[in-house]
Amino acid sequence: MIAIIDYGAGNIKSLQFALTKAGLESQLTNDQDTIRQSDGIILPGVGAFHDAMTALRDLGIAGTLQEEAANGKALLGICLGMQLLYDKSFEDGEWDGLKLLHGEAGRIDDSVKVPHMGWNTLAHHNKSTLLQGIPENSYVYFVHSYAIKSYNPDELISSTDYGGKVPAIVQKNNLIGMQFHPEKSGGTGLQLLQNFGGLAS
């Protein structure tokens, strides 16, 4: 079972639907025991970084996520959820994240339209089982104003080009981030969720 973290991050029914379509059982939860008993965790995200981190801490989930990640459980952060995995964000201030991955989030370059909304292609950088069935230049769907600006290049699996190189998929062992929305990315997104499910089994 995949635990989808419920901390008031907007409509995530489409994510549940996509996981079901990908053949993966999921449960929307903020219960720590349920999270600990899951095979894998998805941290979705829509909204502001600081509000999300405050909610995770107030619910007592931040520590649980850090513990489960340290135990080797597969953890996928989607969109804002990916940014929350990092050290900090400079969205409307300077805020600490979960510090599971080293790096920082910042606003997308103003040379392009912000927010970034639409379909963009993936360029692959490092090998990962996550990319099984995902050819170069596959299209995925983005909706975001902030992105990871500093990161370990060894952890960059795929990027997209939008006002410069934007990390689209990152991975450090059991920790995975997708800046785009796989649940809104058609067959490519479903394949990526299935690949994540393989890591969580």
Is the CB of residue 124 less than 8 Å from the CB of residue 136?
A: yes
**What CATH number corresponds to the domain at position 109?**
3.40.50.880
Structural domain including 143 reads 2-200
- As given in the structure block, the two tokens for residue 102 are 């080293």
Check if 79 is active-site: yes
Q: How far is CA 172 from CA 23, 110, 126, 200, in A?
A: 25, 29, 11, 14
Check if 50 is active-site: no
Catalytic entry in 79, 91, 124, 144 = 79
**DSSP class of 113:** -
- As given in the structure block, the two tokens for residue 84 are 């929350």
Structural domain count of the chain: 1
> Is the whole model's pTM more than 0.95, yes or no?
yes
First to last CA, the chain: 9
Check if 136 is active-site: no
pLDDT digits (tens, 9 = 90+) for 79-138: 999 999 999 999 999 999 999 999 999 999 989 999 999 999 999 999 999 999 999 999
Catalytic entry in 68, 91, 155, 183 = 183
